[in-house]
Copies of this chain bind each other. A is one copy, B any other.
Amino acid sequence: MPNNEKVLIAGEWRDADAAGTFRPINPATGETLEWSYPVSRRADIDIALEAGSAAANELLHTPVDKIADFLKHYAHLIGESSSELSKAANLETALPVSPRFVDIELPRTIDQLCQAATAARDRGWTMPTIDTATNIRSMHGPLGAPVAVFGPNNFPFAYNAVAGGDFAAAIAVRSPVIAKVHPSHPRTSQLLAEVAFQAIQDTGLPPATLQMVYHMAPEDGFYLVSHSLIGATGYTGSRHAGLALKAAADAAGKPIYLEMSSVNPVFILPGALHERGEEIVDELHASAMVATGQFCTNPGIVVLQVGDAAEQFIAAMRSRFEDADAGVLLGPGGVRVVGDAVQSMQSSGAELVTGGAPIEGGACRFQNTLLQASGEDFLADPDGLQEEAFGNANLFVVATDDDELEQIAGRFAGNLTGCLYTHSAGDDDLLYERIAPHLRRRVGRLLNDKMPTGVSVVPSMNHGGPYPATGHPGFTAVGIPASLLRFSMLQCYDEVREHRLPVELRDQNPTGNLWRRIDGAWTQADVMAPDDS
């Protein structure tokens, strides 16, 4: 199939061993775009695994400065190509070039890569622990194997398998990446991968440090994540595909980190509702409409307590939703997903407040949709009403009293975030004490008086949470250095001769400012010889 675009495997752009082809769609028009991309067969995966494995060995011996230089150079080249990249992504996602791409997502992508470069260089993620009395030393170290990364449809840059957070984390930890990009934006991914490959060549990393295919059959995905040569997998996407990959990886004992789905409950307690309901309507509307609601941290379910204030709040949101143009979704599949979720919630007892139907015409659009259910409805079918509607559809749950509010909080599954809005002077504090513990054990990030959609890339960020938001509650996909730990293993050295230790564990502090836990205290000092101390 000569007209197919090429895959990046084993250090070169080459024809895929293709089982078929697909073309991306412009969601703003519904039109099929001009390029044709291959669906890779298992032969491509096998070559990528072998080449990735060899590159992993090389990367174990590559100076960290070189890895950091690559990450920074790649970030720089993305910046230089931002106009072309943004246009391509806009064509495939309908997300706006500005502000979304050039002002927000590309700067974040560049910042993440630069932070990963710093992390690779400063090595803080290794968290060395040294006990001098026993001469046992341990750290988080590289897997010495390639990492598979599956990218989602909703962030063509910041979560792209060839440029996003998982990519940056894996590379910083010396693992080459075998990327399965999202087939909704292959052209954007191809352009990004070209930039990445240029940066790899410019900085002299092993050519197979990044490999990329556009698509593969589910069985080949299972094969990839469970293969003996793979170190670990990072996945962002739907729960359905995520759980299937998880089952395959789990059965093979291979770590897999998944960010799958989240309805991100927002509890607006009565005092806050009375005190500043209108203000919160503004915040909720802005948060719910970002990227037509296609955010992992979209505030999907808002819980209120029955009364005039709740009615006014819902009426105000309804006006906002009805007055706003419905944004374009990421593709025809996105329209189906929202429609299915809305129908499913209705069959579980929710009533439509507004919207509820696809919008005819070329663009992939769905009416801005609000649903409402009583607390009783929710408690009768909490699973049915917690289906993620990935897009511009949100559910209100209206509880009768404090007790029901608490019961509702206790029936949420694992989520990335949970928000509590409370009265500024403390009127809601007693109720907060009842609700917060339920949310705390169910969400990765607990917020006060703030919507969940902003995800700062700072060390303390947790973009994770209990199952089924992710596959493990101890890890985060965002926030450096913590996100790097997913692609590491705990490595202990027991009486290993000093010159054979990784530099992070030798007596002398390798950078002069690496934080290490020596004999129980965090320090940037060298390990003292017994006669020095």
A positions within 8 Å CB-CB of B: 57, 60, 124, 129-131, 133-134, 136-138, 140-141, 143-145, 246-247, 250-255, 414, 417, 432, 436-437, 440-441, 444-450, 456, 458-462, 464, 466-468, 471-476, 479, 482, 485, 488-497, 500, 515, 517, 520-522
Contact = CB atoms under 8 A, between A and B. Distances in A.
A466 B458 CA distance: 30
Nearest to A417: B494
A479 B131 CA distance: 11
Nearest to A522: B522
Contact of A467 (B133, B140, B254): B254
Given A250-B247, A494-B447, A496-B447, A136 B458 contact: yes
B450 A491 contact: no
Contact of A441 (B143, B467, B490): B143
Given A130-B460, A444-B489, A448-B500, 14 more contacts: A57-B437, A131-B458, A131-B459, A253-B467, A254-B467, A432-B500, A444-B491, A446-B491, A447-B493, A448-B495, A449-B495, A459-B517, A461-B492, A476-B490
Pairs of residues from A and B, 7 with the lowest C-beta to C-beta distance, nearest first: A253-B467, A462-B492, A522-B522, A473-B489, A144-B441, A250-B250, A445-B492
A490 to B, nearest CB: 5
A143 B467 CA distance: 12
Contacts of A492: 444-446, 460-462, 476
Nearest to A470: B253
Contacts of A472: 255
Most interface-central of A141, A467, A473, A517 (chain B CB within 10 A): A473
Given A246-B250, A441-B144, A474 B489 contact: yes
B515 A490 contact: no
Given A143-B441, A441-B145, A456-B134, A446 B489 contact: no
Contacts of A485: 474
Contacts of A447: 493-496
A200 to B, nearest CB: 23
28 contacts: A124-B520, A131-B456, A131-B458, A131-B460, A136-B456, A136-B461, A144-B441, A247-B250, A247-B251, A250-B251, A253-B466, A255-B473, A432-B500, A444-B489, A444-B490, A444-B491, A444-B492, A446-B492, A447-B493, A447-B495, A449-B495, A462-B490, A462-B492, A466-B489, A474-B488, A475-B490, A476-B490, A515-B522
A460 B129 contact: yes
A310 to B, nearest CB: 23
A482 B517 CA distance: 12
Contacts of A133: 458
Contacts of A488: 474
Contacts of A441: 143-145, 489
Contacts of A459: 129, 131, 517, 520
Contacts of A140: 474
